[in-house]
């Protein structure tokens, strides 16, 4: 799986939008962009994934650059419960390996 680069940490105020960036300049055409998050003392949980088009679900939105070399996870209104480490992961569609390769992620702090 190709490598991703994320800021080590970010801060946000409660009820404000949060934009979490991810760079993946070596992404290949068959790589999907996945986001997971890990709340304190919990296992990771799936947030969203996409290939080329922007994606929305009940948790977040994913904005993917036209050249696919970067993406942004958008939390529309941060809550204290969104404080977590957010991982951006590339996963090759059709690959033989099922596992996800986690980097260091971005630790998001949310201030009341």
- Measured from the CB atom, the residue of 70 and 86 that comes closer to other proteins is 86
Instruction: Find residue 13's DSSP bridge partners.
Output: 111
Near other proteins by CB under 8 A, which window of 2-10, 53-61, 62-70, 94-102? 94-102
Number of residues that bind other proteins (CB under 8 A): 27
CA distance 58 to 15: 16
Position among 46, 65, 69, 79 found at the interface with other proteins (CB under 8 A): 46
Name beta bridge partners: 92: 31
Query: 8 burial class (0-12, 13-18, 19+ CB within 10 angstroms)?
Result: exposed
Widest Cα–Cα separation across the chain:
44
Binding flag, residue 100, other proteins (CB under 8 A): yes
Closer by beta carbon to other proteins, 15 or else 51: 51
Task: Return the number of the residue (24 or 91) whose C-beta is nearest other proteins.
Answer: 91
The terminus-to-terminus CA distance of the chain in angstroms comes to: 37
**Between residue 2 and residue 41, which ones bind other proteins under the rule CB under 8 A?**
32, 34, 36, 38, 41
- Least Å distance, CB 14 to other proteins, is 26
Identify whether the C-beta of residue 82 lies closer than 8 Å to the C-beta of residue 11: no
Identify how many contiguous H helices and E strands the chain contains and give both numbers. 0, 9
Q: Which residues bind other proteins (CB under 8 A)?
A: 32, 34, 36, 38, 41-46, 49, 87, 91-105
């Amino acid at each position: 799986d190709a490598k991703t680069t994320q800021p080590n940490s970010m801060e946000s105020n409660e009820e404000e939008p949060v934009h979490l960036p991810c760079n993946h300049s070596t992404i290949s055409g068959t790589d999907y962009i996945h986001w997971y998050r890990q709340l304190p003392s919990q296992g990771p949980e799936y947030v969203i994934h996409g290939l080329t088009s922007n994606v929305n679900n009940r948790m977040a939105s994913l904005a993917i650059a036209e050249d696919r070399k970067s993406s942004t996870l958008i939390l529309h209104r941060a809550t204290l419960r969104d404080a977590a480490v957010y991982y951006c992961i590339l996963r090759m569609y059709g690959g033989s390996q099922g596992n996800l390769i986690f980097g260091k992620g971005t630790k998001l702090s949310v201030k009341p």
